[in-house]
Structure 1
């Protein structure tokens, strides 16, 4: 009996150690968007931007943010995860949540209108104590981008969408890829 209990504990510990982690301090680096555009839901126009501006307001204003994120071939065999960081200089109000979708556009540079939204990948909620958006596994069970094999050599095409009737998420975007555990501001793909 003792041997069985010890063996089960060892197997459990081994599985736990092998399971991927998305602890922010475990990342080796971060890939940022190469293109970011604000999609105006009211008139369908996409405008280049240097910040996320995902808003749903009572006055009828609604925007989402489109991202194009090229994943380097050197990340073959690595694990990736969505990371969104904001500072006190950013504007986060209302539900403070974002739904993340993948999109079907070929090249965001050449997409003046429309968003070509496809499948929801996750819901995240802002944690003011850490400055990070954490995965909301109650609002969206089994997020597909909490931990996934890095699509090395491919480009991710994502969109952040407001949640609820009032949600304001305006976050300055850093545009330099980062090596090391310190996440850039805005949306990025962390890898380890």
Structure 2
């Protein structure tokens, strides 16, 4: 009897689901080495790639980037800056490798205007944390990674280390038993990719607003 691995289960689950990892073309704003994907009016994905290659495969963390409709947004350009506005966010980006000075998001509707702006690299002091991958050998408190809910009014999700789920007919030289899906490790993905989504942000970062 063969016991399926965690990656096998992920591959089979992804194959069974109707996943949509490729974003809508009209939801993408891009330059030669950067890409901003508007997932919703309050969920944004930021990517930077030195090679100009961007990731459209599903990951173990994110399966869908086409959420059924194109969000409403407006893009303007001023003094070398790309400015994106939605009902919830005001994004300003200088087109260069992501930096604290060059990428910021103002979150609308927050009572405290002193804390309503996220700059790339900001520490998530108010993040309410996420889950643990396993409780094996846990005895008492365990560290948790950042989650998607935060007292800051924004949260950042770094998806850059998640395994990719890609289509392949062969696994280790033999026919793929799960049809066409298999999960590969992070060593296979392009380097220098950053992204951000809604009140979630990452390298690849996702910024999302609560």
More contact order relative to length (CA 8 Å, sep ≥ 6): 1
Q: TM-score, normalised by structure 1?
A: 0.28
Greater helix share, 1 or 2?
A: 1
Q: TM-score, normalised by structure 2?
A: 0.26
Greater strand share, 1 or 2?
A: 1
